[in-house]
């Protein structure tokens, strides 16, 4: 059973790596409508960090206070969700991007059934950035390769001694 569970975990990790590396679309729902999001691009991250900076009000606040502000300030939270939903629609026209985010933020505020949808969208977007499993699978692969080489060398030595 342990081996079967391990194989399942390996398959799940491999699938997750493939999704991250290919920037696979992630489906989310907002107000009954389906939206597709992809891994956050640098410009989207920049805009999200700008929202966090607005929340911090340029003071040296700790992360707990900022996260509390995110959780209680609907405008900022809706803006973060809007940025995530607009992630792959941004262009080099900053004014158009600002309008796109404002329009999407209004849509988020008007069409959401509840804030739980927002949490799911943010979680899935952040999850698309987590590539920890890539490093885990690489380390396991290296370990297995070393082990197989060692066994192969030991087998060759044993065969040579036997002749």
Lowest mean pLDDT among 14-23, 129-138, 149-158: 129-138
Among 133, 31, 163, 25, which Cα is nearest to 88's?
25
Model pTM score: 0.62
Neighbours of 40 (CB within 10 A): 19
**Structure token digits, residue 15:** 């699938």
**Structure token digits, residue 113:** 């059934």
Return the pLDDT at 95.
95
Q: Is the pLDDT of residue 78 over 70?
A: yes
Alpha-carbon distance of 2 to 99, in angstroms, equals 53
Name the average pLDDT for the chain: 75
Among 50, 129, 52, 39, which Cα is nearest to 87's?
39
The residue that leads in pLDDT, 8 or 163, is 163
Among 128, 134, 131, which Cα is nearest to 41's?
128
Q: Is the pLDDT of residue 66 over 70?
A: no
Return the pLDDT at 91.
93
Return the pLDDT at 119.
77
Neighbours of 146 (CB within 10 A): 10
Name the band, by pLDDT with cuts 50, 70 and 90, for residue 133.
Answer: very low
């Amino acid at each position: 059973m342990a081996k079967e569970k391990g194989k399942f975990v390996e398959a799940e990790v491999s699938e997750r790596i493939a999704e991250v590396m290919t920037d696979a679309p992630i489906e989310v729902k907002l107000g009954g409508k389906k939206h597709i999001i992809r891994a956050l691009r640098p410009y989207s991250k920049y805009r999200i960090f700008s929202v966090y900076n607005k929340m911090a009000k340029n003071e040296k606040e700790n992360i707990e206070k900022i996260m509390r502000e995110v959780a209680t300030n609907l405008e900022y939270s809706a803006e973060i969700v809007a940025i995530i939903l607009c992630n792959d629609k941004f262009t080099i026209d900053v004014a158009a991007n600002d309008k796109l985010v404002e329009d999407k933020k209004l849509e988020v505020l008007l069409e959401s059934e509840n804030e739980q949808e927002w949490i799911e969208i943010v979680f899935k977007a952040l999850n698309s950035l987590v590539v920890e499993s890539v490093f885990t699978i690489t380390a396991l692969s290296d370990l297995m390769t070393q082990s197989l080489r060692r066994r192969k060398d030991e087998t060759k030595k044993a065969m040579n001694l036997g002749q």
